[in-house]
Amino acid sequence: MNIPRVETGPLRLRGKRSLCVLGTAATLFLSAILIAWFGGYRINVTPSEPLGLWRIVKLDRSAKVGDLVFICPPATAAIHEARHHGYLRSGLCLSGVAPLIKTVIAVAGQRVEIGAGITVDGHRVAHSALRHRDGEGRPMTPFGGGIVPAGSVFLHSPFAGSYDSRYFGPVPASGILGLAREVLTHAP
């Protein structure tokens, strides 16, 4: 009995070539991600600031009012609850969330009052109205107000649905990764 011989050489070669192309593409993709990550580039997919590509620029001084910053919030009960409710995305900060892009509206020693909106040292902050319920009808508890402690900043975003210091209070300035700079963004 003769068993026909099947040539498999060309199929093996195509399979190896495909595997090589796929491996090269995966390596290039991962390399691009690592270069972007360590180069300070981040993608914002939240509506708190324009969507798109941002860059973290080193901050060689203390944060001041008006700075738009990338910051890792601390691992507090309020941040844990915000992550649980889906207000903040999971990420690589020690608190388990992604870095936030927020504007510093108060620094150590300034008085923050929370009412219908925020006032800092008696001056009303634009676009700072509070939400009393989230999109699912759950109550949202605002921060109680007070003097921003030493080494801390109070953060805000003009987006009405932003989860910021209105709710979690001042955060340590040591969590600031740097200034936030738009690279390629789109504001819907």
111-129 pLDDT, tens digit each: 999 999 999 999 999 999 9
pLDDT, position 111: 98
Q: What is the mean pLDDT of residues 168-172?
A: 96
Percent pLDDT > 90 in the chain is 64
Give the span between the Cα atoms of 88 and 187, in whole angstroms. Answer: 19
Give the span between the Cα atoms of 10 and 49, in whole angstroms. Answer: 53
Tens digits of per-residue pLDDT, 46-93?
888 888 899 999 999 999 999 999 999 999 999 999 999 999 999 889
- With contact defined as beta carbons under 8 Å apart, do 103 and 63 qualify? no
| Identity of the amino acid at 132 | H
- pLDDT level of residue 181 (50, 70, 90 thresholds): very high
pLDDT, position 157: 94
SS3 of 105-118: EEECCCEEEECCCE
Tell me the β-bridge partners of 101. 70
Greater model confidence, 133 or 48: 133
